[in-house]
Amino acid sequence: MFRTAIRQAAQKTSSKSELPQAFVKLPHISPALLSQYPAKKTWPPDFKAMSPQEQLRYEKRYKRKIHHIAQRPKWNKMVQLAQLGTISFVLIYCVFFADWKDERQPFYEFREWFWNSLGFDYEAPNRPVPKIRSEESQASVQGGSRPRQM
């Protein structure tokens, strides 16, 4: 709707000093700039007056320009660096420092080798020893069924 109104207003003006009302009302565009540097072509172009080949050429050109504008290479690079840093931090933390309370440390041997090779005396933190259940307590947990004998 606005594109058509602007195009028609631009076509109606007969001289360069006369500006369309749509441009005069815009606060961020100076009327002096518009009169000093007039547009070479009216925008948007009238697609009804163009041949299908010209329409296709315009569509391809402006789709390509919009695609390049939307790339934002600095933003994409920063996002990739943030992802790499986060993943690296989590992996290093899990391998060297994470403390699993009741489970066996999966990286215990690697931690011990690494810290000892750097000259530190590495000892695993004291862990609560898991309780070994007797057969009677396991049977009561299973609903009173007796364990199978083979």
Task: Give average pLDDT by consecutive 10-residue segment, the chain, 150 residues.
Answer: 69 54 58 76 83 92 87 91 98 87 78 89 65 60 57
Note the pLDDT of residue 78. 96
What is the separation of C-alpha 76 from the centre of its chain, rounded to a whole number of angstroms? 7
Which residue has 């690296």 as its token pair?
88
Note the pLDDT of residue 90. 96
* 40 vs 113: CA distance, rounded Å: 73
- Going from the C-alpha of 101 to that of each of 11, 118, 129, the distances in angstroms are 77, 26, 11
Note the pLDDT of residue 56. 93
Which residue has 């606060």 as its token pair?
27
* 55 vs 45: CA distance, rounded Å: 9
Note the pLDDT of residue 14. 46
Cα angle at 56 between 49 and 10, to 5 degrees?
Answer: 40
Note the pLDDT of residue 135. 65
What is the separation of C-alpha 101 from the centre of its chain, rounded to a whole number of angstroms? 34
Note the pLDDT of residue 51. 93
124: enclosing H helix or E strand: none
